[in-house]
Amino acid sequence: MACSDGLPSGRDESMCRSMAKEDLDEIRRAVSAVCSDFPSEYWREKDRERAYPAEFVDAITRAGFLAALIPEEYGGSGLRLDSAAVIMEEIQASGCNGSAAHAQMYVMNTLLRYGSEEQKRSYLPGIANGDLRLQAFGVSEPTSGTDTLSLRTFAKREGDEYVINGQKIWTSRAEHSDLMVLLARTTSRDEVAKKTEGLSLFLVDMREVVGNGMTIKPIRTMMNHSTTEVFFDDMRIPASALIGEEGKGFRYILSGMNAERILIAAECIGDAKWFIEKASDYAKERQVFSRPIGQNQGVQFPIARCYAQMRAAELMVHHAAEVYDEGGNAGAEANMAKMLASEASWAAADMCVQTLGGFGFAEEYDVERKFREARLYTVAPISTNLILSYLAEHVLGLPRSY
């Protein structure tokens, strides 16, 4: 059989695809087994206390799931993005919350693609075995939001160091991470030939700078997302912390953002599956007027519609992952996958509450928690309107909107 890196070739195409499906099914079973140790009560308690699910993160780290994309030579599994997407999907479908750790996959991808060999050997083995956490991604700022090119955090080169001043916001899990990938300006915007130049990426060892130039302030939100704002006040880091070339950081993060959107889209598919299963089970069991409510088309049809919407989005997610894994420009596919999956998830969440009625608002049913968690993804990490604007301009060739 002629299969290379799990890809089909010639007459063996169907066999290769069958093997790939078996591998993904095995990943699903393994993830589900780990998640079974963290039942609903665990997540309710963490949500109630706004506590970080450290035990869960440690468990999926020990199982090797967060090291899925790390090459074997650095202690990881060397899997493709499509496999990583299945991991994140199954976590959500099991009723758990992958947001506590998902950044480690897509933030790490930037290091994998553009980091130096010294950086990879220094950090990747520790990330793979769980000694280090790389979950913080410092990009958004209070004055720029998704207008990344307008960020103001500045890194000034002084000898063998960079001195950084500025502020980041919505930097989730900064309190629970050892490392941060930070995007900062290294050349003033009015001094660059192209507006996409002058931004640089850094791998910051937070163990060295928290309380020594870096201050972290938690932001309490409607869901337990461990997000923060981060302040930099003459924070000094070694010049060796620079990822790739100075001034090329914006180009580097675009690739990482594609991976981010595909993985989060996969999480949304998992959430949608959870909501659909929850609603279906309830509709079969709940008796009103001496018959199950699921016997009524008014209850059946919304569930069926959400299932169809979820399945269509699921196909787009795996297509986007395939384009990414093949080395293509997955910008359009990643954005469409994220938009379609987040909308499918939110539609399923709304349907599930409607199906359960008053019980949908009761903590013990877990729907209200998952409902709050699902709401995030039509807004962040990029809103639906910005995705539509991207598709209009870059895919359809329409005039740029303002």
CATH (domain of 104) = 1.10.540.10
- Nearest residue to 235 (alpha-carbon basis) of 184, 187, 164, 319: 164
Tokens read off for 171: 């930097």
Q: What's the pLDDT score for residue 8? A: 47
Tokens read off for 120: 């990879």
Distance of CA 247 to the CA centre of its chain: 25
Domain that holds residue 45: 10-133
Q: What's the pLDDT score for residue 14? A: 57
Q: What is the pLDDT along the chain (402 residues), one digit of tens a residue?
A: 345 444 444 545 554 555 467 789 999 999 999 999 999 999 999 999 999 999 999 999 999 999 999 999 999 999 999 999 999 999 999 999 999 988 888 888 789 889 999 999 999 999 999 999 999 999 999 988 677 888 999 999 999 999 999 999 999 999 999 999 999 999 998 899 888 899 999 999 999 999 999 999 999 999 999 999 999 999 999 999 999 999 999 999 887 889 999 999 999 999 999 999 999 999 999 999 999 999 999 999 999 999 999 999 999 999 999 999 999 999 999 999 999 999 999 999 999 999 999 999 999 999 999 999 999 999 999 999 999 999 999 999 999 877
- Domain boundary among the residues 86, 108, 133 is at 133
Digit-coded pLDDT (tens) for 161-172: 999 999 999 999
User: What's the CATH code of the domain at 172?
Assistant: 2.40.110.10
Q: Cis (ω within 30 of 0) for the bond into 125?
A: no
Q: Would 3 be classed as within a structural domain?
A: no
Beta bridge partners, 62, equal none
d(C-alpha 331, C-alpha 291), whole Å: 49
Single pTM value for the model = 0.92
264 and 239 in one domain?
A: no
Q: Would 119 be classed as within a structural domain?
A: yes
237 and 143 in one domain?
A: yes
> Phi/psi of residue 209, each to 5°?
-120, -15
Q: Would 4 be classed as within a structural domain?
A: no
**DSSP state, 248?**
B
Helical (H) or strand (E) element with 162: strand 161-169
Q: What's the pLDDT score for residue 12? A: 59
- Domain boundary among the residues 223, 250, 277 is at 250
Number of structural domains found in the chain? 3
d(C-alpha 259, C-alpha 200), whole Å: 19
d(C-alpha 359, C-alpha 269), whole Å: 23
76 and 38 in one domain?
A: yes
- Domain boundary among the residues 133, 168, 200 is at 133
Q: What single-letter amino acid sits at 54?
A: A
52 and 111 in one domain?
A: yes
243 and 339 in one domain?
A: no
Q: Would 70 be classed as within a structural domain?
A: yes
293 and 199 in one domain?
A: no
80-83-88 Cα angle (round to 5): 125
116 and 62 in one domain?
A: yes
Radius of gyration of the chain (CA): 22
52 and 84 in one domain?
A: yes
69-175-157 Cα angle (round to 5): 80
